[in-house]
Amino acid sequence: MISEPFSLSGLQLRPCLAVIAKCLVAAAALGCVEQVSAVTSVEEALKDISPASGMCLRDAVGASSGTVSAIRPKPDLSCAIAPTELSPMLGRPELTLIDVRLRADYDAARIDGAMNLSVTDVRTKSFLRDKLLVLIGSGKSERELYVACAELKGQGFKQVKVLRGGMPAWWSLQRPPGGEPGAGQQVTPLTATELWAESQFDANLILLATSDAAMQRVLPAATRLPNDQSATVRAALDKKRKAKQSPLGVVLVLPPNASGTLIAQIREGIQPLPLLVYTGSAAQYSQQIAQQKAIWAAQERGPKKLGCGL
Instruction: Write out the DSSP string of the chain.
Output: ---S---STTS-HHHHHHHHHHHHHHHHHTTS-S--HHHHHHHHHHTTS-TTHHHHHHHHTTTTS---PPPPPPP-GGGEE-HHHHGGGTT-TTEEEEE-S-HHHHHHEE-TT-EE--HHHHHT-GGGTTSEEEEE--SSSHHHHHHHHHHHHHTT-SEEEEETTHHHHHHTTT---EE--TT--SSEE--HHHHHHHHT-TTEEEEE----HHHHHH-TTSEE--S-HHHHHHHHHHHHHHTT---SEEEEE--TT--HHHHHHHHHHHTTS-EEEE---HHHHHHHHHHHHHHHHHHHH-SPPPPTT-
202 phi and psi, to 5 degrees? -60, -20
Distance CA 208, CA 263 (A): 12
Domains of the chain: 77-179 (3.40.250.10), 188-293 (3.40.250)
Asked if the model's pLDDT at residue 78 lies above 70, the reply is yes
Asked if the model's pLDDT at residue 307 lies above 70, the reply is no
How much is the mean pLDDT over the chain? 78
Contacts of residue 105, defined as CB under 8 A and 6 or more positions apart, other chains included, come to 138, 167, 183
**Alpha-carbon 237 to chain mean position:** 27
59 with 249: CB under 8 angstroms?
no
Q: pLDDT, tens digit, for every residue of 131-143?
A: 999 999 999 999 9
Confidence of residue 117 (pLDDT cuts 50, 70, 90): very high
Sign of CA dihedral 6, 8, 14, 15: negative
Confidence of residue 267 (pLDDT cuts 50, 70, 90): confident
Asked if the model's pLDDT at residue 184 lies above 90, the reply is no
User: Amino acid identity, residue 257?
Assistant: N
Instruction: Please give the residue that has the higher pLDDT: either 157 or 58.
Output: 157
> What's the whole-number mean pLDDT along residues 283-295?
87
Sign of CA dihedral 14, 20, 22, 28: negative
Asked if the model's pLDDT at residue 110 lies above 90, the reply is yes
Distance CA 163, CA 80 (A): 6
